[in-house]
């Protein structure tokens, strides 16, 4: 927890934008935009940017309406298909992954981002504190990818990825990498695990080494895997998976967070969860 957050917590106060996000009416960024536009009031007065409130005392209204009660925390994994952005709005008119969540009764936000032309594991939750912790650079949360690259990386290329590749925005952090397969057309499949969240990191890293990426899939995020899922599938996390996320958010190493057997899917108090993906053949 940030020092400022600890002070606010001790005083029983919270940032207004964060409070609105907790109530499920907007993301923190959207809440800040609404506050700047004068759409939010505290105790009858127009709120200011950076305002702090005491939830036990202050009355907050958004567009003249009181905020709903804080919803239960929910956690989902989406197998994001290619051709979708992870934001809510796009100037180019591209489709958002949030269109795949129609019917979900609780507002959720993506944890981090996944490129438009990349598919794979994308966490979604309304737990803003957990999402913030999992995307904070200090947590070194692992993200595992499978990439199809042109030409097979040699020992020197793999060593560069393991020690750090020099990009225009700095040297990359050490990553795990291995070649998993070779094709008959000068291509190779490579598995790489990174702990950074830089823009298009995997593609830029391999391109720098002379191995442009033609296909990219995120197999897991923070140890949560899409194994057994199909493109477009959405599922709630298991209780064990949520425990693992919380442990990682607290700064514990992934190796210390082992899956436990015997736990079924978590059952958040949500109705209208959509079924996604193709029906499997019996």
Q: Which of 192, 267, 262, 200 is nearest to 237 (CA)?
A: 267
115, 157, 233, 240: the active-site residue: 115
Helix (H, G, I), strand (E, B) or coil at 131: helix
Tell me, yes or no, if 240 is annotated catalytic: no
Q: What is the dihedral of CA 168, 170, 176, 179, to 10 degrees?
A: 20
Which stretches within 86-200 are classed as H helix? 128-134, 155-163
What does the alpha-carbon distance between residue 252 and residue 179 come to, in Å, rounded to a whole number? 28
Contacts of range 196-205, beta carbons closer than 8 Å, 24 or more positions apart: 196/137, 196/172, 197/112, 197/113, 197/135, 197/137, 197/143, 198/167, 198/169, 198/172, 200/115, 201/172, 202/145, 202/147, 203/115, 204/167, 205/161, 205/165, 205/167, 205/172, 205/175
Active site residues: 115
């Amino acid at each position: 927890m940030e020092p400022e957050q600890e002070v606010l917590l001790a005083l029983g106060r919270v940032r207004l934008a964060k409070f609105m996000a907790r109530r499920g009416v907007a993301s923190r960024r959207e809440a800040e935009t609404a506050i700047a536009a004068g759409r939010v009031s505290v105790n009858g007065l127009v709120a200011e940017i950076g305002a702090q409130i005491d939830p036990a005392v202050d009355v907050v209204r958004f567009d003249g309406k009181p905020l709903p009660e804080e919803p239960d925390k929910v956690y989902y994994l989406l197998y994001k298909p290619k051709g979708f952005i992870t934001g809510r709005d796009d100037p180019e008119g591209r489709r958002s992954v949030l269109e795949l969540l129609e019917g979900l009764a609780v507002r959720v936000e993506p944890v981090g981002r996944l490129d438009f032309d990349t598919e794979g594991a994308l966490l979604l939750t309304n737990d803003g504190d957990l999402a913030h912790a999992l995307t904070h650079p200090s947590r070194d949360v692992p993200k595992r990818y499978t990439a199809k690259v042109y030409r097979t990386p040699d020992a020197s290329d793999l060593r560069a990825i393991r020690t750090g590749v020099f990009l225009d925005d700095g040297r990359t952090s050490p990553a795990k990498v291995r070649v998993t397969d070779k094709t008959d057309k000068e291509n190779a499949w490579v598995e790489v695990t990174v702990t950074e969240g830089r823009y298009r990191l995997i593609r830029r890293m391999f391109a720098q080494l002379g191995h442009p990426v033609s296909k990219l899939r995120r197999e897991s995020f923070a140890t949560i895997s899409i194994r057994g899922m199909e493109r477009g599938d959405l599922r709630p996390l298991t209780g064990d998976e949520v425990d693992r996320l919380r442990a990682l958010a607290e700064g514990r190493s992934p190796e210390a967070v082992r899956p436990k057997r015997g736990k079924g899917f978590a059952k958040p108090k949500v109705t209208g969860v959509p079924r996604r993906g193709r029906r499997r053949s019996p």
